[in-house]
Structure formats: C-alpha cells, structure tokens
Structure 1
Amino acid sequence: MYSTYIARQAILDRNSKTIGYELLFRDSSENTFPEIDPDVASSKLVIQNHLLGDIKAISLGKLAFINFTEKCLINKYPLMFDRDSIVIELVGHITATDRLIKIIKYYSEKGYKIALTEYDLDTKWDALFPYLSIIKVDIESVNPKRLQPVIERIKPFNIKLAAEKVETNYQLQSLAEVGFNFYQGFFYHEPEILEGQTLAPFKTQMLNLISETFNIPLNYDAIADIISHDVNLTVGLLKMVNNVATSTKVEITSLKQATAYLGEDKLKQFVTILALSKLTTDKTNEVSRQALITAKLMTAIATNQPFAEISDFAFITGLLSAIEVILSMPISEIVKTMPLASPIERALVSHDGLLGELLELTTNYITGTDDHIEPLIERYSLDAEFIHKEFVEASRWCQELGF
C-alpha cells in the first residue's frame, strides 16, 4: 500500500457559488508510482484510496471533477462512480482521435458530464463538442479575447466555459463579459487590498466574539455581553441550548447561564459557525468552508506529540487562516483588532513558530502543494494516511454543519 494525499480546488459559478471541486491526487514521498502504469495510476488511486466511500464527503456534496486519461476511460473507471456525482476531465490527449470520440460518446450516452481540459482553441477538438458539458481554459496560456469564435461554435451544444487560474476580482468580472460560466483559482490567491479600508464595528464585534471563545479560561461574562448586542446571535444561542437539552427542561435566565450551560466545546462550535456566517458573503462562502476544514484538520493533527504544546491554539488559527480573504484586508491589520495570543498572531501573519508550521502543513495539504508537505511530514514523523483520514472527517463535519 502507498501513502497518498488528496487535495481539491473549488470551481465556482458567476455568483461565486461552489458547483464542484477538482480533486487532485498525490503520491508517495518519492513522488512516483512504483510498478503502476502511469496511464492508470490516478484512477487506481481513486479506487484504492477511500474515494469510493468518501467522495461525497471530500467534495462536500458537490460535483467531483476527476482527471482520466484515455486508458482510464477504456478501463471504465468512471463507471465506478455515480454519474451525477462526478465530472470526467479529459487529460493527456493530443488530438481528438476516432477512438477518443467513440469513448467520449459512450460516456455521454450513459449520462456522464465530460470536461475537456488543456483546450488550445484548435478546431481539431470540435468533433468532441456534441459530447462535452464543459471546456476548461487556462487563461495564463490562452488569451480569453481569442475565444469569441469558439463561443459561437459551442452555442448549439450548450457547453459551458470554465476559466482556470483566475487570480483577481478584475479578471473574474472581465471573464464573465467574455462568456465564461465557471471559475477556478480565484479564492486561493491574495485578496485585493483597498487603501485606507477599515473594519466596520459589526465585523470587529464578530472577530472579538471568536477571539473570546478561544481564551483560556473562558470569560462567559464577556461572551454573553457580545452576544447580547445582536438579536440573531441571542436567538441562535438559545436555540442551541434547546437542541442540547433534549431530555430535560432548562429554564434560561441569562445569556451567561446559556453560554455556561453549553460548555466549552459546544460553545466554540456555536460561535464558530454563527460568527463566521455573519462575516461571510456569497463571494466568500467557499473560503469560509475551507477555513472550517482547516481548523478541524489542524486540531486533529495537533493531537500528535510534536504539536501538543500548541494544540489549544490550533482550531482558532485554522478558522482565522482565511480571514483576510473574507474581509479583504491584510491579516497584519486584522490581528490588531483582536486580542490574540502571540503564537496565533505570528502564525497568521508570517507562519512563524510551531503553530505556523502546523498551519502551513495543513493549508498546503488541502491545496495540494506537495513540495512543502513532505519536509514537514518527515520532520515531525507524521502519518500521511492519518492526515488523509482526518481530512475526510473534517470535510464530512463541515458538510454536516450545513455550512
């Protein structure tokens, strides 16, 4: 058995709603697949390493975009998956051969969605148009302005265009004008910083609420005071108490009593979801989901001895790891508004210290940056299979929360 990694990247529509994830498969520390045919290596990993049971958790109930070579398709690996749960991504094809056309037609007639990647505008691909659902365009390699003739040719087939490597909000807007339907890459890059921007009082209040919840020991008076300033937070807290107290009748006489009744673990979960949801917009829903998963995965990895001394800080650090994207402000400015412990602040701003390395390991794992994963896994003697298992569990947890 080989240790494997799995990463994913969100694919979003014009309204910044996540429609699916491209799943990225990683191999052993040697970056090779010993004694495995490279044409079927990716699909063998799909089958052998958890995806059959966990694909819905990993993709959070969205479509899973999976790469398949021609040999993978001939071996009928896509048939292992529900046609409504995946998109077949064609990779490694030089031209639309008669055999490839026949294979793609076969899967199309069975109801599978098919995406052509590495598209280079050549008319040789037109023969595949009747069977495609999506064409993915790397906008670093192809000038979007050259797509107009292609857009006219795909109209009769209702094919959607997906842009890869979108880095800025300006690109997002201009690509929509060109005719792109889906986007990939935007939420994994630095946010655009607006000069002179400051946090609104309400957002500062939500950040303070998150911070207070992770202080040791908890200050229930301070938490109750922040919650008391927002009706929705108050109602949400009382509903949470009601859900917990399923077998006994609880009479709540104060918000402090309500927070104390929940206890630390449930209170942290309540604050995490409610406060983060109030900071989130349609544009940052995906980022918030990834922040929750990062927090949960960091907490799991921190149970290993090398990170035991900073385990109490793991969850809030992961939760705040994407806050600059959510708020469109530099993290160095955001932390000034929050009473964070020094290790958390240094980890968020510059990835310094043991906590910073845990954050770097976790975020690189989720986004599939192998070069940075291996040294840290080896340095701290971590089990790659354990990390993968906890990543799946964190994804499932996030999905169950309905976030």
Structure 2
Amino acid sequence: MSFVIARQPVFNAERSIYGYEVYLRRSDDLEKYPSDIPFNKATFIIAELVAELGLKRVSDNKKVFINVTLDSLLNKVLDLLPTEMVVFQLMPPQIEIGQSLYANAIKRIEELKEKGGLIALTEKLYSGKYADILRMSHIVEFSAQTVDEGRVNAVKRMQKKILISRIESEKEYNKVLGYGDLFEGNYLGSVSLVKEFEIAPFLKSTLMRMIASLNTVQSIREFAGIIASDVGMSAKLLRFVNSAYFARRKEIKDLVQACAYLGMDNLKKFTLLIATNDYVSVENPYLWKKSLIRAILAEEIMKRMKPELANEAYLVGLFSLIDKILGVNKIEFLREVNIDQEIIDAYTGANKPLSLVLQEASILEEALEIGGERLDSIVEKFAPKLRMEPYEVKNLLFQAQSQAEEILRI
C-alpha cells in the first residue's frame, strides 16, 4: 500500500504564505485521506517524514501545521520535530481517553508551548469539554462553512488568532476575510504532492522502536512507563485487557495494573500484537484474521507439547502471513525489526518444534475456514494428539475465531 505526504498553503491576511498544513493523502487522489492508515498513526508517520525530509523540502522553511489527535499527543516521535516551527492542530481523540491520560495530554501541551510550539484548537474541540485546551491555544480553527460572528467575537475576546479553513470559492473568501487572521482552502491554494511512500517501512519502524525499548525493561512498572508514552497504545492496551478476549468481570483502569495482569511473559507478545494490528488489520483484514487464529491455536497446541515455547509459538503464528499482507520478504522483514531468531527459525525449518506447531495451527485454521466434513475429519485426526475430545478441539477452534474477531475490533 502506498500513500503520499502532501501540503496545502496557509495564508495570512496580506495573502502571503504563512506556512503549510501537511497531510497524508491517497496516491490516486490528493483530496482524500488514505483510509487504510489508522488516523492516530498519521501523526507518527507525518512527524517522521517531516524530520527525515527537512523543513526546506516540506514547507520552504515556513511553519508546518500538523493534525494531532489527543490520544497521539504524548507520542515521543513529536520530539523529532523543530517544535518552534510547528503548529500543532489538536483534534479529538480517536480512542476515548480517561482523566489521567487527559491530564498527561494537558502537560504535554504545556511542554510544547514552552519549547516554542503553537497550539491550534480545531473546530471539533471547540466545546466546554475542552475548555482547558481552548485557554491554552494560540489559534482557533473554523471552517468557512460554519464560522459565524458570535464565535469569532468570543474567540477574539480571548485574544486568540483565528484560522479559517476549507475556503472553496471567492464568495466564501470575501465572507470570512474580516473574521480571520489566517486562511486556507482550495480557492487560495490547492493540495500538492511532496513525496510518495509505502506503508511497510512505517510498520517496520514502529516495531523496531518498540522491540528495542521492550528488550531493555526489567520490571512491570518500567514496561508500563514505556507504553504510557503513547496514549493511543495505552488506551488500546486497557481496552484489550478489558475485552471479551479475557472475559474479565472487573474492569482494569490503571495501566500498571493492566501490565501486571498480563505479566512480563505476555506483555511483549500482546504489545507487538496491538502495534501490528493498527496497520495490518486495515491492509488485509482477511489474512490478518487468519494470522490471529493461527497465533492463538499455535500457542494452545504448544501449551500441551512444550509449554515453555507457548509465547514463541504465538508470535510464529502472528507473523506467519506478514509477507503476503505487506508484500515483503518475511525473513528479511523480521530480522530488520529484531524479532528473536528462534521465531525466524520456525519459518526456515531450523526450529523444528516451532515449525511443526505452525504447520499444525495452519492446518486447523484452514479446516475451520472450510468447515463441514473437512473440519470434522481434521478434528478427529488432531484430537488424540492434543489429548482432547473432538468436541473440545472444535470448541478451541471456535474460541480462537472469536478471539481473533475481538482483536480486530480493538
């Protein structure tokens, strides 16, 4: 899957270019967002690209406007940017965040302001719920279609600048000219291409960073600290431990408690799962669901054969179709993101137990998909080997299918 980084000029009242808003856009349509990419990951991708390409290429050394959802505000990748040249356009969280994470987001806004960054409140956050952020903002954005004199006067009394966006005609421009300080829209300047990219390198980069961090942790609390640096990851981990996947009766609300519940042995596995799920579930949901079912089955089979390899078996199943999903060389990709060698050896055949469990999990997963007599035949064959009754094997398969579907909803 490919996408482009694009930009659109933002003008001041004198019709001079003040800066550029930077977007991710579809390769075949610069007016549309690439729906394949989770929106809370767009900030991560854009920040890395701006840092890599440099301000001269991206914005002609002018201000860069970047959309940042509140759940991605704590992502450390923002530290790669020259903060004093960035306007952070704050948007509603893609995932609901609680009071603790909201408080951390407020602190992060204060940090960005202290470093010289400008904060822009987008129209969707213009409500009493986000009054704290409104007070901290330098700029408030309204669209040309919805702006009105009452809102403008209220914002100007707070001594904020006003950005009017989505100006599509001369009539709209003349209407809002007296309202705003900054202006943006296709009437003034259209979206233009900066560079085209593929998605696979960004999943690779995400996994490399995460694995490098996770390999150094010594405690549950230290692990929770790493996860807490990404609000989106924190929220998804909490949602995951409270999902039907674990069938808990009492809700877990604290990140440290969630990490303790999963335990050190499971944390790396499930964190890699959640990080990969963001990208791959939209790239090819059919193959990703098959991978998830294989992962769950491989783990359950290995628990009965060599329990000490159960977590490794899960990851072998999880990445079993990554080459087909992303169009990459599986072995090279996994080596580059520093996946443990014993996982890689399962695909080359060098690790016999893990290679065998992947074969068995794949056979069961494919039989589950076909159903009918084929499923019954495979279940009868595997039941004695797993020391289970046929109906228990079937229940295991249906449970794996249900858990995979639950993960896809995270």
TM range (shorter): 0.3 to 0.5
Q: TM-score, normalised by structure 2?
A: 0.39
Q: Which structure has the larger Rg? A: 2
Higher RCO (C-alpha under 8 Å, 6+ residues apart): 1
